Amino acid sequence: MLLIDIHTHKHAEPDPGVLTLPNVIVSKESIYRTPCSAGIHPWYIDENFDRQFDTLKMYQQKEGVIAVGECGLDKMTRTPWDRQLMAFEKQIELANELNKPLILHCVRAYSEVYAALNNKHNQVPVMMHGYSKNWSLAESLLENGYYLSLGPHILKGGMMEVINNIPLDRLFLECDDKNAKISEIYAYFCRVRKLPLQDLQQQILLNFKRVFNYTI
Ligand SMILES: [Zn+2]
């Protein structure tokens, strides 16, 4: 039995039976465990972006860095929009050069994220982390080919329609920066969807291997 937590900011070792993908925020953290993702977060874009981007490129050369991100666009942060867009577009290009998936942070900017990915002719898998909106938005993201990752937010009970309808081969689960246990999120999803835990666990493992090109 292996549970995958596809996006976490926890530095502590994962529980037994859990494989996590810790996210390294370039300029705030360095690589502390692999496999991991590494990216420039829209909240933390340095004045000297070129140097920050060089650091990201250097991290991406290391063994076990299997995704670019989290990166993306955020309408609720103070970072100027043109800086966010520039940093996001550079990371889309990088992910495509390296042929690694993108882990996206998106706050109130879904159409702008879509436009940027399109502009850059993105070809790599895209995973929206911490998806917490409604089913109709989820449907349009799924139509664009994106993967959705659901977090501890679902435990509050407001995500029934998404849980009941999302194609399981487009799904990931995560703890993000919260104190929840990934096993609780798996269990909750299975309870709502009326799905055996083993089936969900197998499917997400398959998704992980396929999207992140990872061999366990
Ligand atoms: Zn995060």
Q: How do the pLDDT tens digits run along the chain, 216 residues long? A: 799 999 999 999 999 999 999 999 999 999 999 999 999 999 999 999 999 999 999 999 999 999 999 999 999 999 999 999 999 999 999 999 999 999 999 999 999 999 999 999 999 999 999 999 999 999 999 999 999 999 999 999 999 999 999 999 999 999 999 999 999 999 999 999 999 999 999 999 999 999 999 887
Q: Are 68 and 108 in contact (CB under 8 A)?
A: no
Domain assignment of residue 53, yes or no: yes
Q: How far is the CA of 72 from the centre of ligand 1 (A)?
A: 11
Q: How far is the CA of 74 from the centre of ligand 1 (A)?
A: 13
Domain assignment of residue 216, yes or no: no
Rounded Cα–Cα distance for residues 203 and 196 (Å): 11
Q: How far is the CA of 31 from the centre of ligand 1 (A)?
A: 15
Domain assignment of residue 28, yes or no: yes
∠ CA(212), CA(164), CA(106), 5° rounding?
A: 50
Q: Is the pTM above the cut of 0.85?
A: yes
Q: In the prediction, which pLDDT does 35 show?
A: 97
Q: How far is the CA of 111 from the centre of ligand 1 (A)?
A: 20
Q: What tokens were used for 116?
A: 């940027």
- The boundaries of the domain holding residue 12 are 3-211
Phi, psi angle pair for 142, to nearest 5°:
-65, -35
List, as ranges, residues with CB under 5 A of the ion ligand 1: 176
Q: In the prediction, which pLDDT does 66 show?
A: 98
Domain assignment of residue 139, yes or no: yes
Q: How far is the CA of 61 from the centre of ligand 1 (A)?
A: 22
Count how many domains the chain has. Answer: 1
Q: What tokens were used for 68?
A: 């670019």
CATH of residue 123's domain is 3.20.20.140
Q: How far is the CA of 129 from the centre of ligand 1 (A)?
A: 7
Domain assignment of residue 177, yes or no: yes
Q: How far is the CA of 126 from the centre of ligand 1 (A)?
A: 15
Domain assignment of residue 42, yes or no: yes
* Measured CA distances, 79 to 24, 86, 117, 205 (Å): 19, 11, 20, 35
Q: In the prediction, which pLDDT does 216 show?
A: 72
